[in-house]
Structure 1
Amino acid sequence: MNEVRKIDVDEAFTLKRRIEAGGTPMLNSWGCNNEYDALTDVLLGKPDHLRHLATSSLSRKYLRDAPCDVAVAKAQHKELVAAYEHFGVTVHYHEPTPELPMQVYARDSSFMTPYGAVITNMCNWWRRGENFAAIRTYQRLGIPVYDMVTAGLFEGGDFDIIEDGCVLIGCGGERTNEEGAQQVKAWFDKEGWETKLVYFDPFFVHIDLMVVMIAEKLAAVCLDTTPAEVVDWLRAKRIEIIDVPYPDTVTLGCNVMSLGRDRIIAPEHSRTLIEALKARGFEVAEVDMSEISKTGGGIHCMAQALRRAPL
């Protein structure tokens, strides 16, 4: 169901809500302060026009060895949508168009903050139209834009909120480059956030391939691939780490979506993580993402949280 929430007049749609010097007021009707409060609204992209393109090292590998069965991928996406609906999350969609075959990865073209959405600037030329389409989506939903990345490349999977007022910003040098990462970092420095910028090998695409928050003070992390400085930083914050094995990580097994209240959507093959979560009392919706993920992303990549309600 796509419904526009009633919002305050000062929270109406705008193309730039950010205050240059910082001190931008938080939204009341939309936004999220972290990755683990109760998810009420999520933005997805429909796979109507999905094609398997070479957008990353992972998608290129599958193009060579075992290309995606698009019909199966579309069925798997329906299962993903059903999981959100099962947990009572309102699902909103980008308007699908044939020119945007990778729009199913809704996190790439924007990311949500407590102050509004940020429109990114994607690496692949054939995906940059998704940024413009995202603006139309936020306008239709009545969600203001905080700002737009203009200094360089930046994709939403590299904005990894760790806890309220604290973000891990990834820079692999390809999908997100230093100019884009530094621009985003400067914005949130001015808002008074703690911002940790980390550089990593572009093979791993985005930082949310390796680090995803599960709940308050609990993260799924691939210790084999995540830079040691990030692991030390997380542990200094007393964040418990569930180690996701390398073979699971490179097949998007760490790329899960927290719904809050100890509920998770995870790819069914990520057995180590799933069993660790169940042992901690989490309710896990296990979804087969084996075909659709061949096109270059996982569950977290396919979803942009629009609103999370604090417990």
Structure 2
Amino acid sequence: MNEISKIAPADVFNLQRRQSTGGTAALNSWGCTNEYDVLTDVLLCTPDNLKHLSTSSLSRKYLREAPCNIPVAKEQHKELVAAYTHFGVNAHYLDLAPELPMQVYSRDSSFMTPYGAVITNMCNWWRRGENFAAIRSYQALGIPIYDMVTAGLFEGGDFDVIEDGCVLIGCGGERTTEEGALQVASWFDKEGWETKIVYFDPFFVHIDLMVVMIAHKLAAVCLETTPDHVVSWLRDKKIEIIPVPYKDTVTLGCNVMSLGRDRVIAPKHSRFLIDNLKARGFEVAEIDMSEISKTGGGIHCMAQALKRVPG
């Protein structure tokens, strides 16, 4: 452990504040302990340089059959940003680089914890520079780096916080490898978290395409694709499951963003989930993601929570 991280105050930017034996202090002004407290600040990226590349089975399918209409995709992203504005969320933006066409998926290059941001190590060569842009962005915001993934590959969509101090870590073997998953799990084991690694077919890219927390003790889950032992694990924690149909899941219908206080941003085609949430009294912003999601990600993929507060 470097000396700077031992003495740096909690909210002063530095490149590694993780304590090697655990016991890292939580940040004062930034950080998230779960995926469903009130979202006050989010990290986004404009799709100025967006291209439709072969990043996943879904994006390849659309490349063959109906490539993304980029101008329409950009308008859809503006609608997404407007939803965050409507709900009073402060939007911050990644340091934009023209050579990085997939930066709009701001969750992949990092993920947020109570202790600072983790910089990931991404699979596709054309995305690896996003990690450096993320570091510059956190530096500009004054958000410290908890640590950086150095063993294998890891992407932010595979860090799926279920509740305070409990994380489901996805490992599809391609976008996140076992080495990366084990490294991240070891850090949070030492912090006293419960960690569970789940292995799945790489067709599904990240775990947050199948399991997303909506509120305290409420999750959206695709039962057809999520391993039975994970479903049992969630139910053992008394987490109620809204079962998102497979046909919606593969078009990113489960990939939604909870804003806290029973408010959710969801893709408008995910009718089963939206209707279920509205029946429970949730306020749902329904956003047309039909074109931009052809490039390989959904609403949850396009946003990195920076700060959540109870409420």
Normalising by structure 1, we get a TM-score of 0.97
Divergent runs of 4+, >3 A: none
What amino acid is the match of 1:149?
Answer: V
2:185 is matched with 185
2:53 is matched with 53
1:221-300 paired onto structure 2 within 5 Å: 221-300=221-300
Distance 1:10 1:222 in 2: 38
Q: How many corresponding residue pairs? A: 304
Residues 202-236 of structure 1: CA distance to partner in whole angstroms, max 9, x if unpaired? 00000000000000000000001101111000000
2:105 is matched with 105
Distance 1:113 1:104 in 2: 20
Residues 175-224 of structure 1: CA distance to partner in whole angstroms, max 9, x if unpaired? 00000000000000000000010000000000000000000000000001
Distance 2:125 2:182 in 1: 21
Distance 1:16 1:95 in 2: 20
1:68-79 paired onto structure 2 within 5 Å: 68-79=68-79
Q: Indicate if the aligned counterparts of 2:10 and 2:25 stay in contact, CA closer than 8 A.
A: no
| Stretch of structure 1 that moved more, 94-103 or 168-177 | 94-103
Distance 1:10 1:31, change over 3 A: closer
Distance 2:210 2:10 in 1: 37
| Stretch of structure 1 that moved more, 9-18 or 208-217 | 9-18
1:4 is matched with none
Deviation for aligned residue 1:95:
2.1
Deviation for aligned residue 1:97:
1.6
What amino acid is the match of 1:123?
Answer: C
What amino acid is the match of 2:101?
Answer: P
Deviation for aligned residue 1:310:
1.1
What amino acid is the match of 1:125?
Answer: W
1:172 is matched with 172
Q: Indicate if the aligned counterparts of 2:32 and 2:305 stay in contact, CA closer than 8 A.
A: yes
Residues 55-91 of structure 1: CA distance to partner in whole angstroms, max 9, x if unpaired? 1111111101100000000000000000000000000
1:88 is matched with 88
Distance 2:273 2:213 in 1: 12
Q: Indicate if the aligned counterparts of 2:96 and 2:133 stay in contact, CA closer than 8 A.
A: no
Distance 2:56 2:278 in 1: 31
- Is the aligned partner of 1:307 residue 2:307? yes
Normalising by structure 2, we get a TM-score of 0.97
Distance 1:201 1:45 in 2: 28
Q: Which runs of 5+ in 2 are unaligned?
A: 1-7
Deviation for aligned residue 1:94:
0.7
Distance 1:226 1:103 in 2: 27
The Cα RMSD (Å) is: 0.7
2:66 is matched with 66
2:23 is matched with 23
Distance 1:56 1:188 in 2: 29
Residues 116-158 of structure 1: CA distance to partner in whole angstroms, max 9, x if unpaired? 0000000001100000000000000000000000011000000
Q: Indicate if the aligned counterparts of 2:10 and 2:27 stay in contact, CA closer than 8 A.
A: no
Distance 1:229 1:298 in 2: 25
